[in-house]
Chain A
Amino acid sequence: MQRTLRLKREIQMLTTHPPPCISCWLEEPDKFHLKAQIIGCEGTPYENGVFSIDIILPDRYPFEPPLLQFKTPIYHPNIDSNGRICLDILKSPPQGSWKPSLNISSVLTSLQLLMNEPNPDDPLMADIVGFLDYIVGFLVSVIYSQVQLSIYKINLPDDLKPVTSCCPKCL
């Protein structure tokens, strides 16, 4: 009941006032399945990358957090190779801090922030954190190459394709 009411309103909000660099739409309305795309922010290793995310709203949404999964491979200490995300607001209390005051839009914005500011204290991918701790400069270039890889792996529509295929730091 609440899930249907909320989804209707949230889609309306996402359509009229989408968060910057994020688009989100309803993929399969009957299954409460949404899809989102986050465009990597300028000045980060993910710049110009378009990252697809699957969103499923569980039955008890908004009393339970939405289920998010990266569909585009991403090199990030808090996101594993299957696209699972380690973010406290995506878990119910007491482990996590999901609240019904959050919504799809705010979760996606947090995810964008997590991409920009990785959280090495709560790692999902220990090896990446190892890099992060010791060879930050090297890590940046590794991530860049991953982004370039992911850009070419997925088939983007023409208008979403990055204008620059190469960046100054990428060799």
Chain B
Amino acid sequence: MEKLLPLDCASSKFDGFVCVNGKPFRVHIVKPSGSLQQAKFSCDWKLQNLLKKHLPLLQKRLTQCKNLEDFIDEVQTLASHSPVAAAEKKLSNIGSYGTIIQHIEELGWEFLNDISDDFTQIQLKVCDSNERVHMLSLSFDANYPQTSPKVSSTLPFSFVPLWASGSSLSTLCSQFKTTLLLYERFWDEVEELKYNTWILEPECPNFSATTFRIALGSSCSMHLKVDPLHPEVLPECQFLGADWAISPYRVKFQAKFEDWNETLSIFQNLKNLLEIDFPHKPHDGSQSVSLQCGICYAYRLETDIPDQICNERRCGQAFHHQCLLEWIQTIPGTKQSFNILFGECPYCTKPIKLPILHK
């Protein structure tokens, strides 16, 4: 064996070293019988600290491994993958802390929003010209400031900084500000939509959202996919809801989409094209009845939203899949063909069909 040395002739005691991140740690193994079942593994406290999260796993491996050599390999892998080892590796160079603080000082402490306990992650707060606050998260490794810190932010496209030698947090920040300028018009448009229409999805749009579902009326909505860099051009539009409710919008849209005016906002354009007053989000949380499920009277049932819609034009009632399924399985007269149930809408008694499996 290369890594372990037997200490007695019966080869029941072994001593050796395990190498983790270039540092050797002394280990000791006692193996009373021939098998590994009753073997005991001990090591110094530094290695114990690295292994403490993997103890149950380590115990299992000790009984599973065929020979001691495999087991030592296992210990080595586990120890080098432990989070403690990773953190130690991250900022082994003590000089980095000084550099980071110096760079924050240079940038101005007012930009700093949050800092992690181990000083490897910081969050910067950057305002754009419209007073919108953007967060830029940075995570440093040992090579900072030679290499760029890892950045993450909520932008439509991920922000990749250009990092050269001599770059610091302030250069990174000014690059970020320039990037923010690209999306300003887009965010203005989103804000106008948010203010004037009822955005069903996402519930609270953040700065990275580029697709929106907007309520057009009871039981119908439209899906918009906006290009964040060119918000003025015609976005991808898709109409959702009962056929009779959306077909007038679809017809208007198809007839007039060439009139899309790039100097107007998305909201204005949609308003002109569809000739519609967008419904507003109800303030008191009481949604109009037609948007809720007609059976449980709620909009959200766990995570489900009412997406089964009666196709009768005067009805258009929406239901949760779960609620409608339970009802039409309760009543006599429901027929099944393959995976589709044919029943009656509980509101208008017109035929309604429902797939048994949802999505």
User: Per a CB cutoff under 8 Å, which of A2, A12, A92, A103 touches B286?
Assistant: A12
Known contacts A1-B301, A12-B286, A63-B326; decide if A101 and B296 are in contact (CB<8 Å).
no
Contacts of B295 in A (CB 8 A): 2, 6, 62-63, 100
Given contacts A94-B332, A100-B346, A101-B347, contact A10 B297 (CB under 8 A): yes
* Residues on B with beta carbons closer than 8 Å to the beta carbon of A161: none
A6–B333 Cα distance when bound, in Å, is 26
Shortest distance between the CB of B314 and any CB in chain A (Å): 14
Nearest-Cβ distance from residue B10 to partner chain A, whole angstroms: 66
Q: Are B332 and A101 in contact (CB under 8 A)?
A: no
- Chain B residues in 8 Å Cβ range of A101: 294, 317, 346-347
Q: Is the CB of A2 within 8 A of B331?
A: no
- Are A6 and B346 also in contact (CB < 8 A) when A63-B330, A92-B330 are? no
B332-A93 in contact (CB<8A): yes
Task: Give the docked Cα–Cα distance between A9 and B297 (Å).
Answer: 7
Considering the complex, give the chain B residue whose CB is closest to the CB of A12: B286
Q: Is B41 an interface residue (CB 8 A)?
A: no
B107: interface (CB < 8 Å) = no
Q: Does B323 contact A (CB under 8 A)?
A: yes
How near does chain B come to A28, taking the closest CB pair, in angstroms? 21
Question: Measured between alpha carbons, how far is A10 from B332 in the docked complex, in Å?
Answer: 27
- List CB contacts (< 8 Å) of B316-334 with chain A: 317, 323, 326-327, 330-333
A2 touching B301 by the CB < 8 A rule? yes
Chain A residues contacting B333 (CB-CB under 8 Å) are 93-94
A5 contacts chain B at the CB level, 8 A cutoff: yes
Among B295, B317, B332, which residue has the most Cβ atoms of chain A within 10 A? B295
* Cβ of B270 under 8 Å from chain A: no
Residue of B292, B317, B326 ringed by the most chain A CB atoms within 10 A? B326
* A99: interface (CB < 8 Å): yes
CB A137 to nearest CB in B, in angstroms, measures: 40
Contact count band on B? 10 to 19
Q: Are B296 and A5 in contact (CB under 8 A)?
A: yes
Known contacts being A2-B295, A5-B296, A101-B294, is A63 close to B327, with CB within 8 Å? Answer: yes
Q: Which residue on B lies nearest to A100, using beta carbons? A: B295
Chain B nearest CB from A7 CB (Å) reads 9
Question: B255-298 vs A: 1/0 string, CB under 8 Å?
Answer: 00000000000000000000000000000001000001011111
CB distance from B291 to the nearest CB of A (A): 13
Q: Is the CB of B346 within 8 A of A5?
A: no
Asked if B330 and A2 make an inter-chain contact with CB atoms under 8 angstroms apart, the answer reads no
Q: What is the CA–CA distance of A101 and B301 in the complex, to the nearest angstrom?
A: 17
A91 to chain B, nearest CB (A): 12
Within the complex, the shortest CB–CB distance from A6 to chain B, in Å, comes to: 5
Tell me if A9 and B330 are in contact (CB < 8 A): no
> Shortest Cβ distance from A3 into chain B, in angstroms?
8
Residues of A contacting B294 with CB < 8 Å?
A: 100-101
Query: Chain A nearest CB: distance from B346 CB in Å?
Result: 4
Identity of the chain A residue whose Cβ is nearest the Cβ of B348 in the assembled complex: A101
Nearest chain A CB to B97's CB is how many angstroms away? 53
Contact of A5 among B297, B317, B330 (CB under 8 A): B297
Choose from B286, B296, B331, B332 the contact partner of A62 (Cβ within 8 Å): B296
Q: Give residues of chain B (327-353) contacting chain A, Cβ–Cβ below 8 Å.
A: 327, 330-333, 346-347
Kindly state the separation between the CA atoms of A9 and B347 in the bound complex, as whole angstroms.
Answer: 18
Q: Given the complex, which residues of A lie within 8 Å of B292, measured CB to CB?
A: 9
Cβ–Cβ < 8 Å partners of A2 in chain B: 295-296, 301, 323, 326
Bound-state Cα–Cα, A83 to B323, Å: 32
Residues of A within 8 A of B326 (CB): 2, 63
Partner among A6, A93, A99 whose Cβ is within 8 Å of the Cβ of B296: A6
Residue from B296, B317, B326, B330 having most chain A Cβ neighbours under 10 A = B296
Q: Given the complex, which residues of B lie within 8 Å of A99, measured CB to CB?
A: 346-347
Contacting residues of chain A (8-25) with chain B, CB-CB under 8 angstroms: 9-10, 12
CB distance from A163 to the nearest CB of B (A): 35
- Residues of A in contact with B (beta carbons under 8 Å apart): 1-2, 5-6, 9-10, 12, 62-63, 92-94, 99-101, 103
16 A-B Cβ contacts within 8 A? A1-B301, A2-B295, A5-B301, A6-B297, A6-B298, A9-B292, A9-B298, A12-B286, A62-B295, A62-B296, A63-B326, A94-B332, A100-B294, A100-B295, A101-B294, A101-B347
Given A5-B296, A10-B297, A94-B332: 13 more A-B contacts, CB < 8 Å = A1-B296, A2-B301, A2-B326, A5-B298, A9-B292, A9-B297, A9-B298, A63-B326, A63-B327, A92-B330, A93-B331, A100-B294, A100-B295
Give chain B's interface residues, CB within 8 Å of chain A.
286, 292, 294-298, 301, 317, 323, 326-327, 330-333, 346-347
The 6 closest A-B pairs by CB, nearest first: A2-B296, A9-B297, A5-B298, A100-B295, A99-B346, A101-B347
